[in-house]
Each structure stands twice: as structure tokens, then as C-alpha cells.
Amino acid sequence: MPNGIKIFGGRANPKLTADICAHLGVPVGQINLKEFADNELYPHITENVRGADVFLIQPTCAPVNTNLMELMLMVNAARLASAKRVTAVLPYYGYARQDRKDRPRVPISAKVVADMLQSQKIKRLLTMDLHSAPIQGFFNIPVDHLYALPVLIDYIKTWDLSKVTIVSPDAGGTTRARLLAMKLGVPLAIIDKYREAANVSEVMHIIGDVKGRDCLMVDDMIDTAGTLVKGAEALKKAGARAVGAAATHGLLSYDEKAGISAIDKIERSVLEEVILMDTIPQEKNLQHTSKIKVLSVAKIFADAIYAVHNNESVSGLFV
């Protein structure tokens, strides 16, 4: 058991917090998380953290604003309780899609979140598979950007790779898909599409040969699953033998415009399997579909926390 380390989790993903602590052999930190009648948050750390190396685990998934504010107050509580160092662990970094001004009079929300966290004087950030890697530059503190790819690679290696093709669902995800394809020694294909608006996409054509292949689309997140389902349909039309998908963050939101949830889209689609990591809890979603496979990244975070606590390099955790 590492000495002087304290790990607390918010309400966003308590199972991941417990799994990380189990890998480290430390107890989950005691914290009372409650709300007043008007939904005002009130976190209370109920054990001594004076002089401790504190890690606060909280993905800022839905409800995004509540989880983000809860994390902010947890950081403040730990710092005011004289913790030696406070590290924010965001397995999923919300607002990452708003990383630049793509039109007039819009915020750079990813930078706003970075400023909010730094305003509470966190000393370090641990996160995984940022939607936009340059977000690391929004921080003036160390950022350890971890990747779920090693976990995915270990899982895929159990398959028959002779017919597998890795597919990027768009041009922007080509780097991630190419790296996975290279690690597995399998071909790469790319879906070229034109996006008319947020959460709306139209598949144009496929670059690469997918006929008779077992195709796996790879992305960093799945939100309303519109892109995913259309991509799968396009691959099947192009002759793919089977189509699956993998993503680190399964937001799986309700599509207001289409009037259908991401889970229902996946369940009704030609997708045979959707692989997700446990950065965002999936327990409820697993009750509504058998197509989702959840892999754990708890050990990656545990190893990173152990390395940070002992002032060791985390580069060995990267692919």
C-alpha cells in the first residue's frame, strides 16, 4: 500500500474509483456527498487529509455541470483541509469538443474548464483520450494524457486477425485508427463524411478495401451514435462481412432531433459489438442491450497514480 496517498471519488463513477483503489491496495477515501433542497452541492471529506497526496476521481460526464461543480468543490475542500498535493483525475474530460472558436461569438469551453480547475490550484491533471489533444496546452500544470489503446489491443488480439480491418469513422480520427492498425498488423480504412451540424453526419464514401472483412470502427467517444450507425451501414453496403465499433468514452446520449436514444440506435443497427471503456459508467446501458462490451481502464489509472505519487515516469503507460 502506497504511504500518504488518499483517493476520493465523486458520484459520477464510484465503481471505477473502487476498482482503481483495489488495484492500488488502498481504501476508497471517505467523503459525504450530498445536496441541499435546491440542489446546491455539499461535499464533506470525513477523514484527515493533512499532508496527504490526494487524488480526486471524477469524469465530467452527464450530468456534466453537476459532476464538474462537484469536482471543483471536492478540490477546494481537500486543499482547504491542508492536503499536500491535489491531483484531479478526469477519466473523461467534458467540454473537450469545444476546443476552439469555429464560428463568431462562441466560447472555447475546454479552456474555461481548464481555467476553472486551475483556479482551485490543482497541482496536476490525469485524463484519458482527450477529444482534442492540444487541450493539454490550456493548462499551466503537468497533464498526464493517458490512452486506453493498450486495453483495446489486448482484447482484439484474442480475435482471428486475418480478416480484421480497422476503420476510422472520419478523417480526424485517422491517427488513432492508424496506430491501432499498425500495432495489430492489420489494414486500415477511412470513412469520408460531411458533417452538416453537431451530431448530424452523412457518410460519403469509404477509402480502402473492406469487402469480406471484419471491420472495427475506432473513435474516442460515442455520443448519439448517429455517425457510428451510418458508418456501419456504409461498411456493410461496401461488402464488409461484419462490423463492430470501439470507443473510449460511451456518452450514449438521447438524440432529441431523431427522438431515439443511442442505445436503441445501436440495438437496431447492423453493429455486432460495441466496445467501450469504463471511463463513464455503463451499468444502466448494459441492461438494455447485449451488444456493448465494457473493458476496464482502472489498472492504467492505478499505475499512473502510483507513478505520480512516487515521482516516477508515466511514459511506460503509453502505447
- Residue 293 to residues 10, 222, 289: CA-CA distances in angstroms? 24, 14, 10
Give dist(CA 304, CA 316) in Å, integer: 9
From the candidates 193, 211, 230, 236, which is the catalytic residue?
193
| Backbone angle region of 210, left / alpha / beta, with phi > 0 → left and psi within -120 to 50 → alpha | alpha
Give dist(CA 166, CA 181) in Å, integer: 6
> Would you say 163 and 214 are in contact if contact means Cβ atoms under 8 Å apart?
yes
Cα dihedral value 241, 153, 206, 200, nearest 10: 110
> Would you say 165 and 187 are in contact if contact means Cβ atoms under 8 Å apart?
yes
b/e map 51-65, b = 16+ CB within 10 Å: ebbbbbbbbbbeebe
Active site (annotated) includes residue 193: yes
Cα dihedral value 179, 183, 185, 187, nearest 10: -20
Q: 31-35 and 41-45 as β-strands: parallel, antiparallel, unpaired? A: antiparallel
**Beta strand residue intervals within the chain, DSSP E:** 5-9, 31-35, 41-45, 53-57, 85-90, 124-128, 143-146, 164-168, 188-197, 200-207, 214-222, 242-250, 254-255, 260-261, 273-277, 292-295
Q: Catalytic residue positions? A: 193
